[in-house]
Amino acid sequence: MNIYVIMKRTFDTEEKIAIENGEISDDGVNFIINPYDEYAIEEAIKLRDDNDGEVTVVTVGEEEAEKELRTALAMGCDKAVLINNEDVEDYDQFSTTVILAKYFEDKEYDIILGGNVTMDNGTGQIGPRLAEKLGIAHVSTIVDLKLKGEKLTVERDAEGDAEVIEVSLPVIVTAQQGLNEPRYPSLPGIMKAKKKPLEVLELDDLDLDEDDAEGLTESVEVFLPPEKAAGKVLEGDMEDQVQELVKLLRTEAKVI
């Protein structure tokens, strides 16, 4: 089986956001594999272990993403690919899709997995957009996956309801929390990962021009949410506190 995982590095979820010179600052920020992509990696490794084949993890991003690719290799992926997206103007989800579609053009794939959304931009566009570009089916936000021959049965989380969906390969699926428990890289895994192939590609290598991937949207401003004023902590007898809160929510906050 040819299994691919699309991965992105993101800020650690513990990180606070700071803005410098009108941009989100990554100064001193700790990066991780996007948590939803970790579910995709875990599922890909399990699929390979049950069905043979190999797992290739692909990221589009900056050179530094090599670190997260090595982590994915240490978890058990077989090969890694980093596609450098430097110098693309107004980089957006269209850009990523153009680059990935070009990369997959001459590949043979049975299943492509990814997270259903990233922690940073949080659009959830890449899976469905790429499926459309490749002309294959997709199912997003899956929490369960079973493969029987060429038939895949997945459970999709649709706002809390579970849809049981059947689809044939090749397919793109995007992972939702609950799909599995991603493993931690083991020490032997980390040692092995150092020797696994990690290919770095430039847009040129894909016969792409920076202009081909130029975004269709542009970011005009980033800003932090306004600081909240200190709240009111109530005091006194518990019954009185609760009655006061009920009153405040109805008359002051007017939300009930």
Which positions from 1 through 40 interact with other proteins, judged by CB under 8 A? 11, 13-14, 16-17, 19, 24, 35-36
In whole angstroms, what is the distance from residue 251 CA to residue 256 CA? 9
Give the E-state strand segments of 124-189 in sequence order. Answer: 137-148, 151-158, 161-168, 171-175
Q: If binding is defined by CB under 8 A, does position 186 make contact with other proteins?
A: no
Verify binding: residue 216, other proteins, rule CB under 8 A: yes
Stretch that binds other proteins, among 62-70, 191-199, 200-208, 243-251 (CB under 8 A): 243-251
- # of chain residues touching other proteins (CB under 8 A): 80
Side chain identity at 189, as an amino acid letter?
Answer: G
Of 150, 191, 197, 224, the one binding other proteins (CB under 8 A) is: 224
Query: Which one among 30, 54, 63, 123 touches other proteins, defined by CB under 8 A?
Result: 123
Q: Are 84 and 62 in contact (CB under 8 A)?
A: yes
179 within 8 A of 143, measured Cβ to Cβ: yes
From 27, 52, 108, 161, residue interacting with other proteins (rule: CB under 8 A): 161
Residues 66-95 that bind other proteins (CB under 8 A): 90, 92-94
* Binder of other proteins out of 120, 202, 204, 209 (CB under 8 A): 120
Torsion sign across C-alpha atoms 33, 78, 183, 130 = positive
- List residues bridging with 155 in a β-sheet: 144, 164
